[in-house]
Amino acid sequence: MKHAYRRPESALVVIYDRQGRVLVMQRQDDPEFWQSVTGTLEVGELAFNTALREVREETGIDIQKAGYLLTDHRHTNQFAIRDIWQHRYPPGTPFNTEHVFSVQVAGDDQIILTEHLHYLWLDKISAMEKVWSDTNRLAIKDCVPDRFMPT
């Protein structure tokens, strides 16, 4: 049986609500790793469609059905693939390219976890402190409007 490797290209979606709280989720395979929605682009799939699909799969929120606006920040990050996940990618693939998106939700959406242990709604600063990756931290900083910051 041939091993199907992941593409080293993903979508990251920062979800925040009308109060500026950011949704962060705890990974099942590494409980120290908290993150926003993220997922690999499938063959032939556009990053925008990956973002829509991953939010639906990981949280149960259907952005289009709910009438939310998915924002493509037209920004990509490149980061080194963690050693513990290297086996998922073709041999010799050191980096992943991540497309950054965000969506503002009402905040009363039912969250249905399928790939994570727990979730939290945190203020912007706390969310930036909680997430594991630098690229996720930067995405929260850049995507969640500053009007939600304490004065």
pLDDT tens digits for 1-40? 456 888 888 999 999 999 999 999 999 988 899 999 999 9
> Tokens 């939600």 label which residue?
148
Q: What is the pLDDT of residues 47-90, one digit of tens each?
A: 999 999 999 999 999 999 999 999 999 999 998 888 877 888 88
Does residue 45 fall inside a structural domain?
yes
Q: Is 58 labelled as part of a ligand binding site?
A: yes
User: Is residue 9 annotated as involved in ligand binding?
Assistant: no
Could you tell me if residue 24 is inside a domain? yes
Q: Is residue 54 part of a domain?
A: yes
Residue 3 lies in a domain: no
40 is in an annotated binding site: no
- Judge whether 4 lies within some domain: no
Find all residues with CB under 8 Å of 118, minimum gap 6, and list them. Answer: 25, 26
- Read off the pTM: 0.90
The span from the first CA to the last CA of the chain, in angstroms, equals 58
Residue 70 falls within a domain, yes or no?
yes
As for how many domains the chain has, the answer is 1
Instruction: Please give the backbone phi and psi of residue 15, each rounded to the nearest 5 degrees, phi first.
Output: -105, 125
Provide the residue range defining the domain that includes 37: 9-148
The span from the CA of 79 to the CA of 23, in Å, is 22
Domain assignment present for residue 97? The answer is: yes
Cα gap 124→15, rounded to integer Å: 11
**CA distances for 6 relative to 10, 14, 37, 40, 75, angstroms:** 10, 22, 17, 7, 21
What's the CATH code of the domain at 135?
Answer: 3.90.79.10
**45 labeled binding residue:** no
Q: Is 50 marked within a binding site?
A: no
Higher pLDDT, 150 or 124: 124
Q: Is residue 42 part of a domain?
A: yes
